[in-house]
Amino acid sequence: MADTCPNCGLPRELCVCVVMGIKDQQILVYLDKRSYGKNVTIIEGVDEKNAKNLTKTLKSKLACGGTYKNGRIELQGDHKRKLKDMLVKYGFKESQIQVK
């Protein structure tokens, strides 16, 4: 049996749940300082269904560590300038993304 989406029941290659969830989200990207002066880039507003795959993709593309917890993505380092373009390529609209 083909792998199907648990939300819509369509085969994975035809599933549009991820795209549908992306349309309504407002994304906030900002920098946070942690102990010992380490920078952490925070991404808030990503739906939990998309966040785990997005976290894995961003960590790979940016060659950094990170995690998804407490409803937000945390990436080690300062990646604010790069993230807007990467999120647009992932499927978010530029008007949905706010970088502080």
CATH code for the domain defined by 25-99: 3.30.780.10
Q: Which residues contact 79 (CB under 8 A, 6 or more apart)?
A: 41, 58, 62, 64
pTM, rounded to two decimals: 0.73
| Mean pLDDT across 86-95 | 86
Predicted local confidence at residue 71, as pLDDT:
87
Q: How do the domains of the chain map onto residue ranges? A: 25-99
Q: Which residues contact 17 (CB under 8 A, 6 or more apart)?
A: 5, 7, 8, 49
Q: What are the tens digits of pLDDT across the range 29-56?
A: 999 998 888 999 999 988 887 888 889 9
Residues 52, 68 contacting (CB under 8 angstroms) = yes
